[in-house]
Structure 1
């Protein structure tokens, strides 16, 4: 976990490592399938309002190789598509069947307050279980920050020339000077540990 203070208020912004993301999701793996999907959607870059309104029909195949995308029809900057994991799509498909949801019915369908309560409950348990007080600062927005930073640096490390543009498009930041400033100032964080670890293979430490 990497933490930085907010520039103008108390508390800290957090960016979770991939291992910490897995710990968060595993906490609600079986007992709370909707919570698991909601947190996973946030870790795919969705805002809280977007998480609440995802419907099964919004998932579409991207190609014939098992890749999927999610259409967000009413995002802050309009309609956009973002890539999602196959496992997330499969969980939504299973929940749709188990709960007998319509294809046009929200999967999560809870209030923003409920989403906040879910993340508070999870972070407090993780803080206790792992004896790590940093978890106390975790909010839904930190999951979006984590996704933005991981996505950008992963693409950049692979040499994708439009890493920032892709991340902003998938995450729904406006392609304007102010949108880019918001992305860089408030969401793009420290280099993720897994990227640093891979980069170190190219360094000659003696």
Structure 2
């Protein structure tokens, strides 16, 4: 977990590792609607208002796989986002009408759901950093998870609805992701590391990093 102060307000930005992100999703209440909400935030990178706008009809199969259609994102922009198989399974189990909201609550309710889930994570781990996690940190962590998985930065920008790399870098990237720090620590012998330093190992999460476009 990485935390960093907001420059313009109180509180902290949080970047969750893959295991931490999954822990938070699993800490959601045992309820299909909440599970769908956490998957849309943490595995599809949707904003709060986008989450409550999604219907079963918005989950479609394309030539490259299953996606969620976001009809009116920020600035009313349309985009399509990769959807995990688990989301499809959850949606099918909900038996909602095609045009009914999957998450039929006010978007502010997502704050309450994340707060309860983070408190469960805090109780289980004792890590006070969990108490800083908010809904937008799931989206933030999702974007970095894609980069760590090797997805082209230009594709990440498209999926997340970010207009430019500068905005994404300034507001969503930490100095380094948790995985990048773990890799680098593994190169240091007195910290228990066994890896040999390799010039090929790098992270797009470094401040000042620039995307490579193909």
- Give the TM interval when normalised to the shorter protein: 0.7 to 0.9
After TM superposition, the score normalised by the length of structure 2 is: 0.79
Give the secondary structure class of the aligned counterpart of 1:173.
coil
Give the secondary structure class of the aligned counterpart of 1:42.
helix
Tell me what 1:21 maps to: 21
Tell me what 2:101 maps to: 106
> More helix per residue: 1 or 2?
1
| RMSD (CA atoms) | 2.3
Q: Which runs of 5+ in 2 are unaligned?
A: 188-194, 198-214
* TM-superposition CA deviations, 1:38-71 (whole Å, max 9, x none): 011111210000001111011111348xx31111
* TM-superposition CA deviations, 1:59-113 (whole Å, max 9, x none): 111348xx31111111114111111111112111211x2xxx2101110021122
Tell me what 1:47 maps to: 47
Please list, as runs of the form range in 1=range in 2, the aligned pairs for 1:30-179 lying within 5 A after superposition.
31-43=30-42, 44-63=44-63, 67-77=65-75, 78-95=77-94, 97=95, 101-155=96-150, 163-174=152-163, 179=164
Q: Which runs of 5+ in 1 are unaligned?
A: 157-162
Tell me what 2:211 maps to: none
Q: Which moved more, 1:72-81 or 1:55-64?
A: 55-64
- For 1:85 and 1:190, the matched residues in 2 are separated by 28
Q: How many residues align?
A: 188
